[in-house]
A and B are shown apart, each in its own frame.
Chain A
Amino acid sequence: DTEVTQTPKHLVMGMTNKKSLKCEQHMGHRAMYWYKQKAKKPPELMFVYSYEKLSINESVPSRFSPECPNSSLLNLHLHALQPEDSALYLCASSQDQSQTYGYTFGSGTRLTVV
C-alpha cells in the first residue's frame, strides 16, 4: 500500500458545527503532516507529527485541533470555523521528519464553511 487516504473527499459545514477530517497511511511512515491549500496557491504547512508527537504547529488557530491516535492515523478536528477557512486540506506522510525523503500526499478534503 503506497497511498495516503483522506476522508471525506468533500465537506460542507456550518460555522457552529464540529467535524473531523481523517487521514490514514499504511506505509510505515512515522511523520505525518497537515497542509492547507487555497485556490491557486501552494500548500501551506499547518501541523507536523513525528512518531505520534506534535512536532510543529505553524501558529494555527485553536479552532483546528490535530490528533494522532496511532502511527497510521491522523485526524484534524474542526470547530467554529470561519468562511475564510474554506480550502483544500491535504494530509501527507514521509518515512520520518529528516530531509532525506519526499512526502506522499493524499487527494485532500475540499472543505466549504457556510
Chain B
Amino acid sequence: GQQLNQSPQSMFIQEGEDVSMNCTSSSIFNTWLWYKQDPGEGPVLLIALYKAGELTSNGRLTAQFGITRKDSFLNISASIPSDVGIYFCAGHPWYTGRRALTFGSGTRLQVQP
C-alpha cells in the first residue's frame, strides 16, 4: 500500500515550546489531513488541506500542503499539557485506485508542565 513517512516518531517537550512534525510520500497526494488521537478515543480532524501550497491555521495549529504535493507539515505553537496525544497525518493519494484515507505512522507528543 501507499506509504506515508511521518516524523518524528515521538517528542517530549516543555510547556510553551513550539512543535513541528511532518509527513512525506514518494507519490503525489490530492489531500492532506492532520488528526489527533487521545488514548481510548478515535482520531479527531484538526486541519484539512486541499491545494498545493495551501497554508491553514486552526488556533495554535498551522499546517501546510507542500508545493510538490508529496509532503505536509504541522506546527503547534506555545504547547500546553492538553496537546498530549498522537498526531497522524493522512491523505488521499493522487491515483484513484484506492479511494480511502491512508495514515502516517503517527507522532506521539508528550508535554511537560
Contacts and interface: CB of A to CB of B under 8 A. Distances in A.
Contact of A42 (B45, B50, B99, B103): B103
How big is chain A's contact interface, by range?
Answer: 20 to 34
Given A56-B98, A97-B99, A102 B45 contact: yes
A109 B64 CA distance: 32
Contacts of B50: 100
Contacts of A40: 106, 108
Nearest to B30: A99
A48 B103 CA distance: 15
B95 to A, nearest CB: 11
A105 B44 contact: yes
Interface of B: 30-31, 33, 35, 40-45, 48, 50, 88, 92, 96, 98-101, 103-106, 108
24 contacts: A4-B42, A33-B100, A42-B88, A42-B103, A42-B105, A42-B106, A43-B43, A43-B88, A43-B103, A48-B99, A56-B98, A97-B99, A98-B99, A99-B30, A99-B31, A102-B45, A104-B45, A105-B35, A105-B43, A106-B42, A107-B40, A107-B41, A107-B42, A110-B40
Interface of A: 4, 6, 33, 40-45, 48, 55-56, 88, 90, 92, 97-100, 102-108, 110
